Structure 1
Amino acid sequence: MPKSKVRKKTAYTPPPSRTPVKVRAAGPSHPLYKAVMFGLMLLGLVWLVVNYLAGDKLDFMMELGNWNFAIGFALMITGLLMTMRWR
């Protein structure tokens, strides 16, 4: 019985390496950035607390109705999203 032919595999050649690029280290965040970030989170919390406690006594909050929840949570979420860029 004839013997089957053995296939020869080509030698593995790694892809050419790229030259490393120096990355500049990012410094700490500006103090104003931190103030705005924490301010937005606190403002959203205060908005919701005022809505619960005195929302029926304030005319502009009564007109907004359930949009007060969207405003309060949007402010807090914006502050929380800013924490991802905080160094």
Structure 2
Amino acid sequence: MPESKPRRKNTTQARAERQSAHAIDKPMPGWYKPVMFGLMLIGLLWIIVYYISQTLFPIPNIGGWNIVIGFGIAMVGFFMTTGWK
């Protein structure tokens, strides 16, 4: 009995499969995890210092924006967790 020919894959589908396989095999750089956790800790420490010093530190003249800066630094670290493997 004759065999049917295998279907040719769509070129975009084949390209996507190659790219996804390449991304999975790629190891994370050694600096990624320390930077990620470091940013989360620096953001937390920024906010803690702001509250403990009664708004005098880290930057005295910007007031409540110190909280925004602290959360912003921490959020960069949290966003980095999406790329962590």
The aligned residue for residue 68 of structure 1 is 66
> Which structure has the bigger radius of gyration?
1
Identity of matched residues, %: 37
Q: 1:37-56 maps to which residues of 2 (within 5 A)? A: 37-56=36-55
- Consecutive unaligned residues of structure 2, counting only runs of 5 or more, are 1-7
Structure 1 segments of 4+ aligned residues over 2 angstroms from their partners: 19-23, 25-28, 55-58
RMSD: 2.0
Alignment length (residue pairs): 71
Residues 2-24 of structure 1, C-alpha deviations (whole Å, 9 max, x = no match): xxxxxxxxxxxxxx741534332
- Structure scoring higher RCO (CA < 8 A, sep ≥ 6) equals 1
- TM-score normalised over the length of structure 1: 0.68
Q: 1:1-87 maps to which residues of 2 (within 5 A)? A: 17-18=9-10, 20-21=14-15, 22=18, 23-24=21-22, 25-58=24-57, 61-87=59-85
Equivalent residues of 2:41, 2:74 under 8 A apart: yes
- TM-score normalised over the length of structure 2: 0.70
